Amino acid sequence: MISSASPQDTQAKPALLDSLSSIRRKVRVLSVMYGVGIVLASAVGLILAAVFLDYLLNLPVVPRLMFLAAAFAGIVYTVWNYVFKPIAARLSLGDVAGRLENAFPQFDDRLRSTVDFVRSDLPGSPMMKDRVIGEADRMAASVNLNTALSAKPVVFSMGAGILALGLSILLIFSYFGLARIALSRMMLGADKWPRRTQIDVIKGLPAKVAAGQRIELRMRLSKGDKQGLKPKVYYQYDNGAVQQQFMTRNEDEPIPLRSMPAARRCRCG
């Protein structure tokens, strides 16, 4: 039996399908690269957010574990949604052909028809099929099908991911001590964050105070002082209620407290 397809059309069939297969591979690669950028940026952001909240709130183990679990769940979700799903997605040559026809309306269903004619035994005139395949092949040779792919979202995604990763590395090297503490606390270690305030007592309290004796308490915030901060002293008489009083910021004018024979604690707030 003699085939009605010409040698030129017979050779053109795999060339067009190879072009569509190449576009499909590039779509998968761009989708995965986009997802990797999203995962990097999200992972760095979630981890830094968890560490920052722990630093501000000095969380115990259980709340810290909950925040870390939430951050881990967010990372797993982004990996699944933006990396594994594009890898596992089934993208047929017919789907690729349809999307290319949206970008190049001049094909007018010729690409999808070519895929159907070549990859399945559809009823119809062999001459008509060969003509459609030949037209699609000639039109595909006259345009750059790769222009239908947009790499701009991938560039932005990967840029954000690399920027976030670089920022985290810079923070680690700039604050290595804090980074070591953060890593230990993320592993549920017992390391403590450094205190954000440092109180230096200029004049301490006597061990015993006579009734009616004037008490002078002087202190200085050598670390963590800022404008508008109001020092507050807490004191207690014997087993009575704990009382409080604001302190003046002028060290030359100590706060007079009447008698305080059973003062138990003092802090700035």
Check whether 121 has a pLDDT greater than 80.
no
Both tokens of 16, joined, read 């067009």
**Residues 138, 206: one domain?**
no
For residues 53 and 112, state if they share a domain: yes
How many domains, in total, are found in the chain? 2
Residue 115 within a domain: yes
Tens of pLDDT, residues 175-194: 999 999 999 999 988 888 88
Do both 53 and 120 map to the same domain? Answer: yes
The neighbouring-strand residues paired with 257 are 215
Residue 165 has pLDDT above 70, yes or no: yes
Is 222 a domain residue?
yes
Q: Based on the fold, state whether residues 58 and 118 are members of the same structural domain.
A: yes
In a domain, residue 207? The reply is: yes
Distance of CA 219 to the CA centre of its chain: 43
Does the structure show a pLDDT above 60 at 7? no
- The pair of structure tokens assigned to 199 is 């109180």
Q: 101 or 250: whose pLDDT is higher?
A: 101
Short-list 40, 77, 67, CA closest to 186: 67
7: Cβ–Cβ under 8 A, 6 or more apart, which residues? none
Shared domain check, 108 and 211:
no
In a domain, residue 169? The reply is yes
Residues 128 and 63 in one domain: yes
In a domain, 263, yes or no: no
The residues, ordered by sequence, that sit 6+ positions from 258 with a Cβ below 8 Å of its Cβ are: 212, 214, 215
**224-239 pLDDT per residue, tens:** 666 666 777 777 767 7
Do residues 88 and 15 both lie within one domain? yes
Q: Which pLDDT belongs to residue 259? A: 37
- Residue 93: which domain range? 7-186
Model confidence at 212, pLDDT cuts 50, 70, 90, reads low
Tell me, yes or no, whether 179 and 228 share the same domain: no
pLDDT of residue 211: 65
Between 66 and 13, the more confident residue is 66
pTM of the model: 0.68
Are residue 244 and residue 144 in the same domain, yes or no? no
Q: In what order do the strands lie in the sheet with 215-223?
A: 198-203, 215-223, 255-257
